[in-house]
Structure 1
């Protein structure tokens, strides 16, 4: 947690960075930095709520640094003549309009004790002097909102969302939710809220599958359709679209493996579709579809594909350096095995 203090010369030491949005508190200067919009909005909302909790008559003003008008900041961040508490939120600090930097730098040199100034900087290299001055301002609080990209970060976010409302989600449930919803943090938060509202007790993988399982399956089966048909460009485009929206490679490989195993099973049967379906525990239409797909596959290509998917499954689950590369490689390999 960030702290402030005094140096031997009596000057305020800069606040340390590293607070999360859950640790954001009102201060003469609150700097909210980082590209994750949802977390930035939550930090601002939390600071405002805590300040209003302390003083219900709090006067809140929002300004856009990109649309700066001379004197606007000084007007809203100056102490009130009648003693009302004030909070000013300035958005778009990363893209300031003309004159904003000079005005805010003057204010940050001597911030008012009874005004809360929240500066929202959404990342980038612009307004660097403002960032430095805000961090060094007496009593400043710095809140970091970095992008949440890695799987472990998304899983931690899901766990924290549940913990905040005194609910639990199993590790398998969290994994399934991240796979289904993807990397959009706002949608992930909304999904957590829905699961909390519509379920009871510990949220498990079955709960997640009930609400969101179709999303993973739909994407995986679209990729599988393109792969078994040998449509190389389409399959690769679908994979990249899925990964780009945050879908993990693991469930896509799982669906591909399921599809090829079904093809291998059907390839070794004879008889009418309904008879084969009863023996294999499949739907008759699925047997008929699989037989049509097998026309482009030799037994050798099918066997090699099953082996390739087993290798890819290990790679995307931590056995390889790059899960996305492993997924793309096996998709292209399978597509090239299809006889045109």
Structure 2
């Protein structure tokens, strides 16, 4: 982040990863208050602003004194106010530190592009992909003065799924209880046993490997322990899509980390996908995805018994897996 004074400047925090955006805003506010401790701090929603409110925020009588203002959800700003925002950006008040927060996406994109062309400081907050989460967990541990090795980080992500906030919170919790500030795999298993041992991802893994009985047992236990049915359909759909994407990379020599990025999975999943590639035909994957989509609709309200629909899906998808005598797939 730029270490120039924040007062008299505008900073744009942009991107869909809300945790990173929140942290960026917190850092900017702290920096501004370190510069001018007596400044007031105000957070407003862009959608609540009209012309008068925007004028007050950017230098009207309400904010005559030094102030730090954070405008959230810039995508909701009235398009009629775009020019006013751009005018302020070109000549900001020396008594104001203004932070604009945009969640990314197409809404309000015109203003976003013009702000970036104005060469104001931009803090990017991109989505943290599934394959990046173990690395994110390790970075979180270092940030908190601790450590987690790659295998343990993989296990933690496997337990929690692609939930950035859950991973960040788990790292903080585990480090708080680790006397040596090192997160062990045993601690991950102890704290997240219910989730790590039987989750929607575990069900999907059993299905993709053709282990019907194990998949059914894992499914029943997962549902009993509170796993939402839609998480099961989502996990299996993601597994099938990743398996299908792998066919585009057959024969290419790639590092696991690069392949994981292109497949959209954590690196520890790559070996499983490669090993299973001989057991899935394009037709089998397509038929399975169709069945999963039908089941997803069912568990969202079109079926009287979601658990029965899920069991039928598990049996059906596992049955569509079949070994081919000469697939030519593998690395």
- Tell me whether the two structures share a fold, i.e. TM-score over 0.5: yes
**The residue matched to 1:206 in structure 2 has which SS?**
helix
The correspondence for 1:141, drawn from 109, 121, 145, is: 121
Is 1:76 the counterpart of 2:32? The answer is: no
Larger Cα-atom Rg: 1
Partner of residue 160, structure 1: 139
Instruction: Please name the residue that 2:35 is paired with.
Output: 54
Q: Provide the rounded CA distance (Å) in 2 between the counterparts of 1:191 and 1:325.
A: 38
Contact 2:144 2:172 in 1 (8 A): no
Contact 1:108/1:133, CA 8 A, preserved across alignment: no
Contact 1:61 1:88 survives alignment (8 Å): yes
Tell me the residue number matched to 2:235: 242
Alignment-derived partner of residue 228 in structure 1? 213
- CA displacement at 1:127 relative to structure 2: 2.4
Q: Is it true that 1:100 corresponds to 2:81 in the alignment?
A: yes
Equivalent residue for 2:292?
none
Q: 1:30 aligns with which of 11, 34, 44?
A: 11
Match of 1:172 in 2: 151
Note the alpha carbon deviations across 1:269-319, whole angstroms, 9 max, x for none: xxxxxxxxxxxxxxxxxxxxxxxxxxxxxxxxxxxxxxxxxxxx8752555
Instruction: Provide closer, same or farther for how the CA distance between residues 212 and 322 of structure 1 changes in structure 2, counting only shifts above 3 A.
Output: farther
CA contact (8 A) 1:25 1:141 kept: no
In structure 2, what is the equivalent of residue 125 of structure 1? Answer: 106
Unaligned 5+ runs, structure 1: 3-22, 251-312
The aligned length equals 249
CA-based RMSD: 4.1
CA deviation digits over 1:241-292, x for unaligned, max 9? 335799xx99xxxxxxxxxxxxxxxxxxxxxxxxxxxxxxxxxxxxxxxxxx
Deviation at 1:197, TM superposition (A): 1.0
State the Cα distance separating 1:76 from its structure 2 match.
Answer: 2.0
Displacement of 1:85 in angstroms is: 2.5
1:316 aligns with 2:272: yes
Partner-residue secondary structure (3-state), 1:107: helix
For residues 85 and 230 of structure 1, do their structure 2 counterparts lie closer, same or farther at Cα, with a shift above 3 Å needed? closer
Question: In structure 1, what is the Cα distance between the partners aligned to 2:152 and 2:123?
Answer: 30
Cα distance in 1, alignment partners of residues 95 and 43 from structure 2: 17
State the secondary structure of the residue aligned to 2:173: helix
**With structure 2 as the length reference, what TM-score do the two structures score?**
0.62
In structure 2, the residue corresponding to 1:116 is in which secondary structure?
strand
Mind listing any 5+ residue stretches in structure 2 that lack a counterpart? Answer: 221-228, 244-268, 289-313, 322-331
CA distance in 1, matches of 2:215, 2:152: 34
Q: Give the aligned partner of residue 197 of structure 1.
A: 176
1:239-318 equivalent positions in 2, closer than 5 A: 239-242=232-235, 316=272, 318=274
Q: CA deviation at 1:167?
A: 0.4
2:193 is aligned to 213
TM-score, with length taken from structure 1: 0.61
Rate the CA distance shift 1:50–1:332 in 2: closer, same or farther, 3 A: same
Counterparts of 1:323 and 1:32, CA distance in 2: 45
